[in-house]
């Protein structure tokens, strides 16, 4: 029987289907362009290869195409003669597509216990945008590291695993271990978009911004803008470019890589990366045209009109508040939902107060979120936006030394960027 690169048996006799599936998995795990196309080649070669249909569903849901994902999952369920692993693979992810998040997560964790090297299922629980990362649970960063540590014996020196383990280590401050693992991962596969991105995060957490900028801007030159990580890596390069003082290039990178009109990335990245860049620029004293805020507020209202995903919710709220889009802000913030609702609600209020110049209210609302904002999801490097906003609200009240102490305590390696 034919097998995938991780040793899992595939219900197909087609070498072409097997090879295309392996190509799709590798492109998906590395954040390179062409994974969906490879999965479609696999099902063209063998329409009965269920896991390739699931691969299509994975990519479609990443791009927020729920109908397309549901159709692909149904194709997988219609496949005949599948092994127990393949049926479990389909059903575990299928429950997520069906809208059963808790049941899907439970099924996925059970599947990983039984089939730990079924990488496309194991992957769903990794990264800051995964099922654990967006769980809204207290301590989810430690939980993330516990998960990657649990599967470590099954993956060894695999380039995908080393990168994800390094990211989990970096998010809890294990920077020396993270540096060792990401360098091993990149040595095995230098043109891996995910691991280049994780390397940028590790540089940032180390405070090695010059080295990070030098590495990422060189790596980024040949990165295909069809790749789903292109938007987010553009954001990283744009931020470091802005910190270096080249705002013309930074605006160009943002426009070409992250804007709703030009980016080919997931809507969640377009929203959060654009909002984050605009707000960081404004915090740094750079004039941000109102039209830029209006464009991203309009995109947020169209793409994420209702609350439920905390990371999207807080960025949408910030976009609407800064754009002065009272109607969209009111519609979104009518009720915070999801497991991190008690963090989302005051964050919305804090951003609204900040946009209105009510610095004391912004401080009062944002302050309590500092103890648990990891529940919002995203990385430390993304969520320090809240800390910089709180510090600026304090500074606006004439307490610059207190603002500086806040950043020194919360982000000691990023004081220079905070003051940029």
User: Each residue of 127-178: pLDDT tens digit?
Assistant: 999 999 999 999 999 999 999 999 999 999 999 999 999 999 999 999 999 9
Quick check: do 15-125 and 134-222 share a fold?
yes
Please check whether residue 356 is in contact with residue 324, taking contact to mean a CB–CB distance below 8 angstroms. no
pLDDT at 52 over 90: yes
Instruction: Tell whether the model's pLDDT for residue 294 goes beyond 90.
Output: yes
Structure tokens at 348: 């919305």
- Residue 395 CA to residue 80 CA, distance in Å, equals 64
What pLDDT is recorded for position 411?
79
Q: Do residues 178 and 202 touch, judged by C-beta distance below 8 A? A: yes
Judge contact between 108 and 121, C-beta under 8 A. yes
Q: What is the pLDDT of residue 412?
A: 75
pLDDT at 196: 99
pLDDT digits (tens, 9 = 90+) for 81-130: 999 999 999 999 999 999 999 999 999 999 999 999 999 999 999 999 99
Residue 418: is its pLDDT beyond 90?
Answer: no
Give the mean model confidence (pLDDT) for residues 337-357.
97
Residues ≥6 apart with Cβ < 8 Å to 25: 4, 5, 35, 55, 119, 120
Check residue 414 and give its pLDDT: 64
Widest CA span of the chain, in angstroms?
A: 72
Residue spans per domain, the chain = 15-125, 134-222, 229-418
Compute the distance between CA of residue 167 and CA of residue 47 in angstroms, rounded to an integer. 36
Indicate the average pLDDT of the chain: 96
Q: Residue 43 is inside which H or E element, if any?
A: helix 35-45
Return the structure tokens found at 66: 């729920």
Write the CATH number of the domain with boundaries 15-125. Answer: 1.25.40.10
Torsion of CA 190, 382, 118, 111, to 10 degrees: 170
Tens digit of pLDDT for each residue in 224-277? Answer: 999 999 999 999 999 999 999 999 999 999 999 999 999 999 999 999 999 999
Which residues, 6+ apart, have CB-to-CB distance to 128 below 8 Å?
Answer: 144, 167, 171, 377, 378, 379, 382
Helix (H), strand (E), coil (C) string for 60-111: HHHCCCHHHHHHHHHHHHHCCCCCHHHHHHHHHHHHHHCCCHHHHHHHHHHH
Q: What is the mean pLDDT of residues 328-343?
A: 96
Cβ atoms < 10 Å from Cβ of 16: 13
Helices 400-410 and 380-396, packing angle to 10 deg: 170
Tell me the per-residue pLDDT of 208-223, one tens digit each, with 9 for 90 and over.
Answer: 999 999 999 999 999 9
> CATH for 134-222, among 3.30.1330, 1.25.40, 3.30.70, 1.10.3470?
1.25.40
Distance, first Cα to last Cα, the chain: 59
Cβ contacts of 158 within 8 Å, gap of 6 or more: none
Mean pLDDT of 191-220: 97
Sorted by sequence, the CB contacts under 8 Å of residue 156 that are 6+ apart come out as none
CA-based angle 360:363:364, to the nearest 5? 85
Cβ(158)–Cβ(181) under 8 Å? no
- Residue 33: predicted pLDDT: 99
């Amino acid at each position: 029987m034919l097998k995938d690169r991780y040793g899992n048996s595939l219900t197909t006799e087609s070498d072409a289907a097997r090879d295309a599936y392996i190509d799709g998995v590798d492109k998906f795990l590395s954040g390179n362009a062409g994974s969906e196309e490879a999965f479609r080649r696999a099902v063209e070669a063998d329409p009965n290869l269920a896991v390739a249909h699931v691969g299509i569903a994975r990519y479609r849901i990443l791009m927020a195409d729920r109908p397309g994902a549901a159709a692909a999952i149904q194709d997988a369920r219609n496949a005949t003669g599948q092994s127990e692993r393949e049926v479990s693979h389909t059903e575990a992810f299928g429950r997520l597509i069906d809208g059963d998040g808790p049941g899907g997560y439970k099924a996925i964790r059970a599947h990983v216990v039984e089939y730990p090297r079924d990488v496309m299922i194991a992957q769903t629980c990794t990264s800051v945008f995964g099922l654990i990362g967006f769980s809204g649970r207290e301590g989810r960063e430690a939980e993330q590291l516990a998960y990657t540590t649990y599967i470590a014996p099954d993956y060894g020196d695999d380039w995908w695993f080393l990168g994800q383990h390094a990211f989990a280590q970096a998010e809890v401050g294990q920077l020396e271990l993270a540096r060792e693992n990401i360098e091993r991962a990149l040595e095995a596969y230098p043109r891996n978009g995910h691991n280049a991105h994780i390397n940028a995060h590790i540089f940032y957490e180390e405070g090695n911004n010059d080295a990070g900028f030098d590495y990422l801007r060189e790596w980024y030159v040949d990165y295909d803008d069809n790749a789903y990580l292109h938007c987010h890596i553009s954001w990283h390069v744009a931020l470091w470019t802005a910190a270096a003082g080249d705002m013309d290039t930074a605006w160009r990178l943002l426009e070409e890589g992250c804007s709703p009109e030009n980016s080919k990335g997931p809507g969640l990245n377009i929203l959060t990366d654009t909002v984050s860049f605009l707000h960081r620029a404004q915090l740094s004293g750079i004039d941000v045209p109102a039209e830029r805020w209006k464009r991203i507020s309009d995109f947020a209202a169209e793409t994420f009109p209702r609350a439920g995903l905390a990371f999207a919710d807080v960025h949408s709220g910030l976009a609407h508040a800064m754009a002065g889009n009272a109607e969209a802000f009111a519609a979104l913030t009518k009720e915070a939902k999801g497991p991190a609702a008690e963090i989302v609600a005051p964050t919305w209020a804090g951003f609204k107060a900040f946009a209105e110049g009510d610095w004391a209210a912004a401080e009062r609302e944002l302050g309590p979120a500092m103890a648990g904002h990891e529940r919002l999801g995203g990385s430390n490097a993304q969520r320090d936006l809240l800390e910089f906003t709180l510090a600026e609200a304090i500074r606006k009240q004439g307490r610059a030394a207190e603002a500086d102490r806040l950043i020194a305590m919360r982000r000691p390696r990023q004081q220079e960027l905070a003051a940029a």
